[in-house]
Amino acid sequence: MEQTVNNPADNTSAYNFAYLDEQTKRMIRRTLLKAVAIPGYQVPFAGREMPMPYGWGTGGVQVTAAVIGPKDTLKVIDQGADDTTNAVSIRQFFAKTANVATTEKTAEASIIQTRHRIPEKELREDQVLVYQVPIPEPLRFLEPRETETRKMHALEEYGLMHVKLYEDIARHGHIATTYAYPVMVDDRYVMDPSPTPKFDNPKMHNMAALQLFGAGREKRIYALPPYTKVKSLDFEDHPFEVQSWDDECGMCGARDSYLDEVILDDKGNRMFVCSDTDYCSERQDAGHRGQQHHDQPLGGPKSSPSSEKAAE
Amino acid sequence: MYVAVKGGERAINNAHRLLAEQRRGNKDIAEIETDQIEQQLSLSVTRVMAEGSLYDRDLAALAIKQARGDLIEAIFLMRAYRTTLPRFAFSKPIKTAEMDVSRRISATFKDLPGGQILGPTFDYTHRLLDFTLMANDEDPAEAPSGENPVDEHMPRVLDDILNYEGLIQDEPTPVDENAPVADLTREPIKFPAGRDLRLQNLSRGDEGFVLALGYSTQRGYANSHAFVGEIRYGTVSVEIEPEELGFAIDIGDIELTECETVNKFKGSKTKLPQFTRGYGLVFGQNERKSISMALVDRAMRANEMGEQIMGPAQDSEFVMEHSDNVQSTGFVEHIKLPHYVDFQGELELVRRMRAEVEARLSKRDADEAKSQSKAAE
Amino acid sequence: MTLQPQTSNLLPGFEHAAFDSNAVFRVLLDAMSRPGRIYDLPINITAPDGLNTSATAALLAMADMDTTVWLSPTCATNLATTHLKFHCGSPITPDVSQADFAVARSDEDLSFIAQLPVGTAEYPDQSATLILMVDDITDGPNMRLRGPGIKDTHSLDIKGLPVAFHTWRTENHHLFPCGVDVIFASSTKIAALSRTTRIEVK
C-alpha cells in the first residue's frame, strides 16, 4: 500500500531522491548552514507541505531529507523507541524514497531522527542527530507574538523566562518544567531543546555529533554545532537537576537510563523499562537482567527483521 | 509477565487496509467515480482547490474520493501533491474586470451599469429537502438563457463607479505588472506581513476560520462596517509570458469569486472623507469565503488605517498563524501521538511534589499535636 | 522546463544532481559545523575560467534562482558568469551589498567585504556567505581557532591570506549574531569560518 503516493499511476520513482525536489533541498541546506553558524538561533525557512501531517515530524523529515545521502544509515526513534508507529512510518518513508539503509542500532546510524529523546549511548563525531520540534520558540508560552519574541532574542532580553522559572520555585519549591526545559546556547541564545525530558539536556552540552532541529509547521530550523556550550537555565540556589528513579529497568536492570512506567494492572502495580529500546536490548544481549526479565525476546529489538515481531 | 507492545509495520499496513475497506463501503453499492464528484460535488471540489492552492478539478475530485469526503484531509492531499510540482512560470496578474461573468450583484446600488445578474445561487432557495434527489430521478429542465448578452466589460462598482467620484480609496493595480508578489509557499512569513501575503494566506485559509473571524468583525470585535460593493463570479483567463517568447499566452480559464466590500469611511476636517475597502478572491463559486475574506482583509488593515486594535480579526499575526487548516489539524491531532516520555517526567514531578506536601502537612500536624499536649500539661 | 541553449564551450555541471550536490553540501555542513577542519572536495568537477573547482562545486550545490551571486572582478569572467547562470539560474549582481554568495580570490583587493550584508539583530541569517578562493589550506599553526564546533582548538593556515582579511574578520566577529560566514576553497580542499569562531593569529 503506497501511502506516500497519491496517484496510483505513479510510483515512488516519480519523486526525487529523498522526496524533496533539489530546489527545496538547497533552500533547506542554506538554512542549515546559517543555523550552524548562529547556534541556537531559529532560522526561518519556507517549510513545505510533506506527505505526513504537520505536528508529526515534518520539520525533522525535511531536515533529514536535505541532509541524507545514498551512503547514510538512518535510525528513527519516537519516545526513544524504534518500533513506535510514527517512527516506523518515517523510517519506511526514507527507506522507500531514498532507498537508504536503516538500522535500530544507535551505533550503526549516521543520521538519527528523533522525537522526544536523545539516545543513551554517547554519539560520535560522524553522526547527525535530527530533532522533530513542535514549538521552536522557548518564549512562546510567555509571549505568543513572534514579533515580540524575535525582538527579545535580538536584545538578549530573557528576564521573562527567569521570572517564570522563579515563580515555579516560589509556588512549588521546584522549577516545574520536566521536558522542553530551556537551555542557553554558547552564552547567547535561549533555545528550546524540543520536548525531550530534561534528563537529556546534559547530553546536548559539548556533544560530539552535530544536532539539527526542524520545526515544519512553525517553519524554523536551528542547530547546535558539535562541542557547543549548552547550559540548562537555573539559579544559584536552585541548580538544574535531572530526573532520577528509585527503580531500575525491569528488563535490563539499568539505573542510568530514562525509564518509562508500564502499568501492569488496575491495582497500582507497575514496572519501569528503558525508554531507549536499543540501549535496553544491547544491555540484555550483554547479559544484564532486570527483575521482570523472563529470558524471552521482549522489550527490545533483539531479532530482525522487525516486522516479524509486530504484535497487533 | 510483561510483553512490550510493538507498533510494527504489520499493524500500520493492516490499518491502511481497513481504512481502504471502509472508504469503499458496501460493495453492493456502485463505486463513486471521480468525474461524478467533479461534476456533482463541484463546490467541494472548488473548496479543495482553493484551500489546497492548486487549480485542478480532477485531482481535487480524486482527493475527495480518497479522503472519504473529509475535505480537510482532501486539502492536505492536494497540498502534499502540489509541493512536489516544479514551478514553470508565474502568471500575469489576472484581470477580473474582464471576467466572463455568471453572477454579479451589488448591495450598494439598486441598479447599475451592467445590471444585477443573479446567476446560480442558493440565496433564495427554500431549504426544504428535495426527496426527488433521493429517488435518483432528477431531470432538471435546462435553465433559460437571458435575452440580452452579458456586458463584456462590466464596470466594477468600486474602481469604475465609486472611484469615479473619488469616494473610495484609490487602489491602482500595480503599475509594474512584473513586480514581485510575495508567496508564502516559497518564503517564510515575516511580520508585519504585507497585504499581498495576507491576502494569499486568507485565500488558502480555512473557510470556517475565515468565516468565524469575518463574523466577529460584524459583532464588534473590530469596527469596519461593510457593504458588499460587488460580488462577481465567473471565469477569467490566465496568461503567462515565457521569457523566450516575450509576449503573453493564454494557458486556460479558471473559475473565481471576487468580493469587494465598501467599508466605513475615514477622513478629517482637512482631508476629504473616503470609503475604505476590503478584498476577497477565491477559486470557484464561494461567496461565503470571499465575503468573509474581504471582511478580514479590511480588519487586518487596522494599522494602515490608524485604527485601534480591538479584535482578533485585526491582529494579522494571530489570523495568519492560525488560518491554515492543514497546519492546525496536524498540530491539534498530533497530541494523540505517544507522549509517554514527557508524561513520565510530569508524573515523577507530581508524585515528588505530593510527597513533599504530605511530609510538610504531617510534620505540621505532629508539631501541632506536640504543642497541644504541651499546653495541656 | 529545461532550457537547452547548447553553447559550444559550456562545461558540464554535476554528473548526478541529487547525489553530487548532497556530497558537496555535507562537506560544507561539516566544515561550517567544525570551523577550521579541512575537508577534501568529494567530487570531480570542471571549473570555468575565473573559478576554481571547490568554489564551483559549492555554488552549484548551494546557489539557485533564489540566491544572488556577486563575483569579484577576477572571477567574473564570461565563462564563469555563463556557467553559473546556466547551471544555477542565479542572478549575478554587480552590487556586493545584494549578495547571498560573494566569490573572490584571496590575493585580490578585498575591500568589498566590508559591504557584504551581515543581517539584522532580528534576522542575523539575512547575511552573505563569502567564498574565498585560496591556493592552499593546511592545518599549520598560523591561526588558532576556538568556539562552537571546536573541541579545544583547531589550527588553520590559509596560504596568502592578507592582513586586511584578519582586520575585517575581527570586526565581523564582534557583530555577532550578525556577520558573514566564510568558506575557504582551494582546488581540492574546503574549510570554513563560522561567524562564531574566535581567531588567534600567530
**Do A163 and A252 have their domain in common?**
no
- Domains for chain C: give ranges and CATH numbers: 17-196 (3.40.50.11310)
Number of independent structural domains in chain A: 2
Q: Find the CB nearest C32 among A22, A36, A67.
A: A36
pLDDT score, position C188: 97
Query: A238 - beta bridge partners?
Result: A235
Most A CBs within 10 Å, among C26, C33, C100, C193, to test the A interface:
C33
Interface test with C, best of A17, A26, A224 (most C CBs within 10 A): A26
B188 in contact with C, Cβ within 8 Å: no
Asked whether the predicted pLDDT for residue C99 surpasses 50, the reply is yes
Range with the poorest average pLDDT among B135-139, B291-295, C96-100: B135-139
A23 touches chain C (CB under 8 A): yes
Edge-to-edge strand ranges of the sheet holding C198-201: C154-158, C137-146, C198-201
Q: Which burial class, exposed, middle or buried, applies to A77 when counting CB atoms under 10 A from its CB (0-12, 13-18, 19+)?
A: buried
pLDDT (0 to 100) of residue A2: 31
Domain of A28 in residue numbering reads as 22-232
Same-domain pairing of A196 and A274 = no
Min Cα–Cα distance to chain A from B98, Å: 34
Query: What pLDDT is recorded for position A303?
Result: 40
Measure A102 CA to nearest chain B CA, in Å: 14
Within 13 Å of residue A289, how many CA atoms lie on the same side as its CB?
8
Residue A2 lies in a domain: no
Does residue C74 carry a pLDDT above 80? yes
Query: Which region among B115-124, B238-247, C180-189 has the lowest average model confidence (pLDDT)?
Result: B238-247
pLDDT tens-digit series, residues B199-232: 999 999 999 999 999 999 999 898 778 999 999 9
Answer yes or no: is A187 within a domain: yes
Shared-domain flag, residues A215 and A74: yes
Q: What is the pLDDT of residues C115-152, one digit of tens each?
A: 999 999 999 999 999 999 999 999 999 999 999 999 99
Shared domain for A99 and A55, answered yes or no, is yes
Nearest CA in chain C to A35: C125
* Residue carrying C-alpha cell 521552536: A136
Contact partners, residue B27, CB within 8 Å, separation at least 6: none
Specify if A5 maps to a domain.
no
Cβ distance of A38 and C32 shorter than 8 Å: no
Residue C109 pLDDT exceeds 80: yes
Catalytic residues of A: 40, 249, 252, 274, 280
Residue A305 pLDDT:
39
Residues of chain A found within 8 Å of residue B333, distances taken between Cβ atoms: 53, 55
Does residue C117 belong to the interface with chain A, where contact is any CB pair within 8 Å?
no
Model confidence over A116-171: pLDDT tens digits? Answer: 999 999 999 999 999 999 999 999 989 999 999 999 999 999 999 999 999 889 88
Asked if C17 is an interface residue toward chain A (Cβ–Cβ < 8 A), one would say yes
Position B147 scores a pLDDT of: 74
Q: Do both A138 and A217 map to the same domain?
A: yes
% of chain C beyond a pLDDT of 70: 96
- Residue B4: the pLDDT is 52
On whether residue A29 sits in a domain, the answer given is yes
* pLDDT bracket for residue C98 (50, 70, 90): very high
Strand order in the sheet with C129-133: C39-40, C189-193, C181-185, C129-133, C101-105, C69-71, C92-93
Contact A225, C194 (CB under 8 A): yes
pLDDT tens per residue, range A18-40: 999 999 999 999 999 999 999 99
Read off the pLDDT of each residue in A195-203 and give the average, rounded to a whole number. Answer: 96
| In a shared domain, residues A91 and A54 | yes
Per the listing, cell 547550559 goes with A231
Of residues B88, B186, B190, nearest to C1 (C-beta): B88
pLDDT for residue B132: 85
Judged by a CB distance cut-off of 8 A, whether residue A67 touches chain C is: yes
* Model pLDDT, residue B6: 59
The verdict on A56 and A204 lying in the same domain is yes
| DSSP 8-state assignment for residue A158 | -
User: Average pLDDT for residues A245-259, to the nearest whole number?
Assistant: 94
State which residue of chain A sits closest to B187, comparing Cα positions. A46
Of B190, B327, B353, the CB nearest to A54: B327
pLDDT number for residue A9:
40
Residue of A nearest to C118 (CA): A34
For C154, phi then psi, to 5°, come to -115, 145
CB–CB of C43/A69 below 8 Å? no
**Would you say A59 and A221 are in contact if contact means Cβ atoms under 8 Å apart?**
yes
Residues of A in contact with C21 (CB under 8 A): 22, 25-26
Residues of A within 8 A of B66 (CB-CB) are 6
Q: Is residue A84 part of a domain?
A: yes
Q: Are residues A133 and A277 in the same domain?
A: no
DSSP state of B204: T
Are the CB atoms for B299 and B316 separated by under 8 Å? no
* Chain A nearest CA to B361, separation (Å): 14
Any domain includes A221 = yes
- CATH code: domain of residue A191: 3.40.50.11310
Question: What is chain A's mean pLDDT, rounded?
Answer: 89
Q: Which chain C residue shows the shortest CA-CA distance from B242?
A: C1
C-alpha cell at B114: 451592467
- State the nearest Cα–Cα gap between C9 and chain A, in angstroms: 26
pLDDT at residue number A293: 85
Distance CA B65, CA B25 (A): 12
Q: Is B76 on the interface with A (CB under 8 A)?
A: yes
Residues in C touching B88 (Cβ below 8 Å): 1
Distance from CA of A61 to the nearest CA of C (A): 16
Taking CB atoms and an 8 Å cutoff, what residues of chain A touch C29?
Answer: 29, 32-33, 36, 67, 210
Q: How confident is the model at residue A307 (pLDDT cuts 50, 70, 90)?
A: very low
Cβ within 8 Å, pair A83-B6: yes
Cβ partners under 8 Å of residue C55, min gap 6: C47, C103, C131, C133, C185
Q: How confident is the model at residue B7 (pLDDT cuts 50, 70, 90)?
A: low
CB < 8 Å from A in window 130-189 of C = 147-151, 176-177, 179, 181
CA distance C37 to chain B (A): 32
Compare all CA atoms of chain C with the CA of B89 and give the residue at the minimum distance.
C1
ipTM for the predicted complex:
0.95
pTM of the model: 0.89
* Per-residue confidence (pLDDT) for residue B175, from 0 to 100: 62
Would the pLDDT of B265 be above 80? no
Inter-chain CB proximity A26 and C196 less than 8 Å: no
Annotate B60-113 with DSSP letters as a single string.
HHHHHHHTTT-HHHHHHHHHHHHTTS-----BPPP-GGG-EEEEEE-SS-SS-T
pLDDT computed for residue A6 by the predictor? 38
B244 contacts on C by Cβ (under 8 Å): 3
The enclosing domain of A284 has a CATH number of: 2.30.170
CB contact under 8 A, A38 and C195: yes
Between B112 and A311, where is the model more confident?
B112
Residue A16 lies in a domain: no
> Is residue A309 in a domain?
no
* pLDDT value of residue A300: 43
CA distances from B36 to A168, B45, B162 (A): 59, 11, 43
- Which residues are bridge partners to B227 per DSSP? B262
| The domain boundary residue, chosen from A197, A232, A267 | A232
- At B131 the pLDDT is 85
Residue A24 near residue C66 (C-beta atoms within 8 A): no
Residue A155, judged by CB atoms within 10 A of its CB (0-12, 13-18, 19+), counts as exposed
The alpha carbon of residue B190 is apart from the nearest alpha carbon of chain C, in Å, by: 10
Look at A312 and B80 and tell me if their CB atoms are within 8 Å.
Answer: no
Question: pLDDT per residue over C35-69, tens digit each?
Answer: 999 999 999 999 999 999 999 999 999 999 999 99
**Minimum CA–CA partner of B318 in chain A:** A145
Distance CA B276, CA A83 (A): 58
| pLDDT tens-digit readout, A264-302 | 888 888 899 999 999 999 999 999 999 988 764 444 444
Average pLDDT of chain C, as a whole number: 94
- Chain B residues with CB-CB distance to A15 below 8 A: 84
Residues A260 and A181 in one domain: no
Residues C1, B89: C-beta atoms closer than 8 Å: yes
Q: What is the number of CB-based contacts under 8 A between chain B and chain C?
A: 6
Residues of chain C numbered 120-139 and touching chain B (CB < 8 Å):
123
Q: What are phi and psi of B86, to 5 degrees?
A: -70, 155
Q: With beta carbons less than 8 A apart as the criterion, state whether C13 and C172 touch.
A: no
Q: Which of A126, A117, A70 is nearest to A278 (CA)?
A: A117
Same domain, A161 and A66: yes
